Homo-oligomer: A and B are copies of this chain.
Amino acid sequence: MSGNTIGEIFKVTTFGESHGPALGCVIDGCPAGIPIDILKIQKALDKRKPGAKQIDAQGNEIFNSAVTARKEADKAEILSGIFSDTNNATETPLSTGTPIGILIRNTSQHSKDYSNLKKSYRPGHADYTYDQKYGFRDYTGGGRSSGRETAARVAAGAIAQMVLENTTTTAVHTNSKINIIAWTKEAAGVKAPEVISLNNPSSIDKQTIDTLQSTIETNSMRTSDTQTASEMSKAISKCRAEGNSAGGIIRCLVTNIPAGLGEPVFDKLDAELAKAMLSIGAIKGIEFGSGFESAKMHGSDWNDAIRSSSVSELDTSPYFETNHAGGILGGLSTGAPIIFDVVVKPVPSIFIKQHTIQKNNFEMTTSNTKFQNTDILIEGRHDICLCPRIVPVVEAMTAIVLADMLLRNRNARR
């Protein structure tokens, strides 16, 4: 059954395989009147792209040691859902309220590289499970299970970001722009120093975030600290030399979020974010705020005390002294920053011979299918650690969930 749509009001449906003609998405439910900037979509796609060029703090081009090059233009074309008066063609078009179709052509697929995968299942990949589910599979480049599918998510996430920036909410209000930022917190065993304290959420101000964002964008590991980036790169180079790969952890921080987003009891904000994150291929876990540390904590440590600062006699602003909840209570945003970590498994493609099985027929699996033991050595170039490439996907999926929740929340009150 169909599982390629996410969202209830801001609905994103993606399509496309790694080695098919194209991939893309349809965004249904974008309100009319949102300025849609194709350049921002392209910028987001460029950030996700394999072998993306990056510029460091000194203006030098960075070689990203963790990911490896597949030359894809990843050029997005908007097919529908936007309109600008023909006499003002230079203006940013507006969304019309109709579905926004986005197309990204595949331009560099090499089907011939994958003929050996027709027979054998790569350990750690979805090869075996797709065959078990569907009876056969598109074995070229991972087909639909390829990370390439996330390009469509990133394009949709860019639209979601435009909704977050330009939508007027009705039931809740916030004066500032919702800001979503993610970074590599740990990779190949190297941890970045803590930059966000759950014990002092008020320290997360605009300047902190601006500095953080600038640092992340100017190192190839997309981590929060330049020195750490260098150490991570070294650890990854070592992995590469050994034909191996590495895992990591990505942190996501959302600030200026209005209170009350989320839809109990099943579509809680943390539940929907968890689903969105675990829907990214390599992610194997998520924790909010104090997360798994909460197991060892007491209520007196964990509970975030609520305080009110008198802005004026008629306007008072509640805040939380700590943020062990990670910005979500009862499945609803508290207004404090949303903080969650996700764990990224090591890249399953490695240059080391592995045990696996192959099947005796390559058509749709029938009761006659037999399997026999074999070894596999995966060829070609592959990523070593997915963290830097998944960072923009985490941001995109967060934006998609929040845009949907912001629109859903319009019906919270009469």
Contacts and interface: CB of A to CB of B under 8 A. Distances in A.
A223 interface: no
Contact of A413 (B9, B21, B33): B33
B100 A5 contact: no
A306 B357 contact: yes
Given A259-B132, A278-B271, A345-B302, A83 B143 contact: yes
Interface in A64-108: 77-81, 83, 85-86, 94-101, 103
Contact residues of A: prevailing secondary structure: mixed
Contacts of A252: none
Task: With a 10 A CB-CB cut-off, give which of A9, A265, A318, A364 has the most chain B CB atoms.
Answer: A265
A268 B145 CA distance: 11
Interface stretch (A202-210, A213-221, A324-332): A324-332
A329 B132 CA distance: 12
A295 B343 contact: yes
A193 interface: no
Interface stretch (A11-19, A39-47, A52-60, A175-183): A11-19
B99 A2 contact: yes
A167 B408 CA distance: 16
Interface string A247-285: 111000000000111111111101111111111010011
A1 B143 contact: no
A164 to B, nearest CB: 11
A9 B1 contact: yes
B299 A346 contact: yes
Contacts of A334: 128-129
B5 A28 contact: yes
B325 A124 contact: yes
B354 A303 contact: yes
A129 B316 contact: no
What's the number of copies of this chain in the assembled complex? 4
Interface in A296-318: 296-308, 313-318
Contacts of A26: 4, 13, 15, 26
A246 B298 contact: yes
Contacts of A15: 26, 28, 79-81, 98-101
A195 interface: no
Interface in A112-140: 115, 118, 121, 123-126, 128-130, 132-138, 140
A316 to B, nearest CB: 5
Contact of A271 (B2, B279, B333): B279
A373 B10 CA distance: 37
Contact of A414 (B17, B166, B245): B166
A299 B349 contact: yes
A96 to B, nearest CB: 5
A131 to B, nearest CB: 8
A230 interface: no
**Among all A-B residue pairs, the 4 with the closest Cβ atoms:** A126-B330, A3-B263, A285-B287, A3-B267
Given A295-B343, A314-B368, 15 more contacts: A4-B98, A5-B13, A31-B414, A96-B134, A126-B329, A245-B298, A274-B275, A275-B275, A278-B286, A284-B294, A285-B292, A287-B287, A291-B343, A306-B356, A308-B372
5 contacts: A1-B407, A126-B330, A129-B332, A313-B370, A410-B411
